[in-house]
Structure 1
Amino acid sequence: MIYDFTNFIDLPHIGIDSIEKNTGKLIGYRTVGEDQISSGKYLFTKKHIIYSKIRPNLNKVALPDFMGVCSADAYPILTVEEKMNRIFLAHVLRSDYFLNFILSFSSRTNLPKVNKSQISKFKCPLPPLSLQNEFADFVAQVDKSQFACQMAIKLWRNSLKSSII
């Protein structure tokens, strides 16, 4: 956790409101300077996973591809690269299997929250790293295909609007 933001003023600040539920897409974030943050936050890199510990039912698990600072309401999780692919782990953390496990600890009614100790109790099968890497490559291909489809739909809608006018 860091408290002095002098050297991080231009870095992105990821609050849990910047993480889209279920998808982990990072949306609408600003810089540390723009948000004028002053309380303790966590530094993360593109090797981390950002996991929101507040309201775990929203399933906010992000995979940043940049360095930044995240809310103290989230944990930056770093995998041991020789044992676990971070994309694989992020998908496990978004899974119903993990969600059902972690929700069993969320007994607070006003603002459900989980802690590191509870998260560390989670156990799941760990495939060989080669299979995890294959999974991550597959996810990357699906993401590219999804993006291409979204762009095609956008282009189609724009051309449809143009032809109507």
Structure 2
Amino acid sequence: MIRKFITLFTDVTKTGTKIPKEEYLTTGKNIIIDQGKDSIAGYTDRQKGIFKEVPVIVFGDHTRIVKYVDKPFFLGADGVKVLKSKEKESNYKYLYYALKAAHIPNTGYNRHFKWLKQININYPGFNEQKNIVDILDSLTRIIKVRQKELALFDKLIKARFVEMFGDPRGNNFKWKQTSIKESCTLKSGKSLSSNIEKERGDIPYIKVKDMNSSKNTPYITTSSKFVKIENVKKQILPAGTVIFPKRGGAIGTNKKRLTKLSICADLNIMGVIPNIEKLNSQYLFAYFNTIDLKTLNNGSSVPQINNKDIEPLSISLPPLSLQNEFANFVQQVDKSKVAVQKSLDETQKLYDSLMQEYFG
């Protein structure tokens, strides 16, 4: 059976109480739900006005994000729609998955509820809804477990780094100290003419957006654009270079990547090339992962990191044999991450396929 959205849902947003963002707490008695990506935006100790008629579906009018909420809550800032079913006995989890699968056009930072109200929903019998929810819930749990495993692997590498080398700025082990200027070469990217950027070529041409790709996390292995080597001989960054954004709001993302192959980069990226007689690239990468790029910003109206902001940074010089031991440990962890990522990708593919089958 196909049901129209307007026959299934009623908008009860007005019965909720909104909490201004500046009043969000990091902990509190009650949760705040807004239209952002996080399942819980913040907390409050307020009691009066809490929305108790749960479960409900929360829709981000600007973000198009759909959330299932089964605990009493307060609303976040503007842009949240709270939806209740018109049916007395409704499987809200099923409705949640149905709305997640709905195709809502992205019209930027505009309101999208008008599009949501136009959708039709596949609405089978109660038992079939329950079976579908059980399957999708199981896959969702597996996906979350795999994601947590990947995050734990990253924490394991950080913990091993501190165990072996201590605080890189505290020099707990009294290693010899040097500066980035003395032990590395800094090289900023350069803008290239658009007519030499190709979809295929010798050298990946990395832009900040390429650093966001899952294929380039945490290692740069590919790009959306490539260039011929004869056009970029002076701009090449070798494998083992640590790169990060050096200009604009991207600095705030605090992303660092390690190149696994030779690349060239655009002018919004800086590369730090280690002197391999002093520094293992994995050790240098782990060192930079302890640094908050925002603290290196030169304070101009347009955020920017220059050579003079990086060169004075102090870095310990443990024995190269110890650095290599750390790199071998990272390599073993990376192998485990590949296996978990493969399982995650396969589970996500099955989830996407079933969402299409049930609701497409």
Contact 2:191 2:266 in 1 (8 A): no
Which residue identity does 1:72 align to in structure 2? L
Could you give the per-residue CA deviations for residues 6-63 of structure 1, whole angstroms, max 9, x where no partner exists?
Answer: 9996221101121139x54447532137xxxx9xx83212142223212433222222
**2:252, 2:339 → 1: CA distance?**
30
**1:74, 1:145 → 2: CA distance?**
30
After TM superposition, the structure 1 = structure 2 runs for residues 1-150 of structure 1, keeping only pairs within 5 Å, are: 10=201, 11-20=203-212, 23-26=217-220, 29-32=224-227, 42-54=235-247, 55-95=250-290, 98-99=291-292, 103-109=295-301, 111-150=302-341
Which structure has more relative contact order (CA 8 Å, sep 6+)? It is 1
**1:107, 1:89 → 2: CA distance?**
25
**1:107, 1:125 → 2: CA distance?**
27
Q: TM-score, normalised by structure 2?
A: 0.36
Q: TM-score, normalised by structure 1?
A: 0.72
Distance change >3 Å, CA 3–CA 158, structure 1 → 2: closer
What is the deviation of 1:89? 0.5
**2:192, 2:348 → 1: CA distance?**
47
Identity among equivalent positions (%) equals 24
SS in 2 for 1:12: strand
SS in 1 for 2:314: coil
User: Greater CA radius of gyration, 1 or 2?
Assistant: 2
**1:136, 1:25 → 2: CA distance?**
14
What is the deviation of 1:135? 1.2
List runs of 5+ in structure 1 lacking aligned partners: none
SS in 1 for 2:323: helix
**1:122, 1:75 → 2: CA distance?**
15
List runs of 5+ in structure 2 lacking aligned partners: 1-188
Contact 2:190 2:267 in 1 (8 A): no
Distance change >3 Å, CA 105–CA 151, structure 1 → 2: closer
**2:204, 2:246 → 1: CA distance?**
19
Could you give the per-residue CA deviations for residues 65-100 of structure 1, whole angstroms, max 9, x where no partner exists?
Answer: 2222111222222111111001110111121xx217
- Give the paired residue count: 153
Give the strand-richer structure, 1 or 2.
2
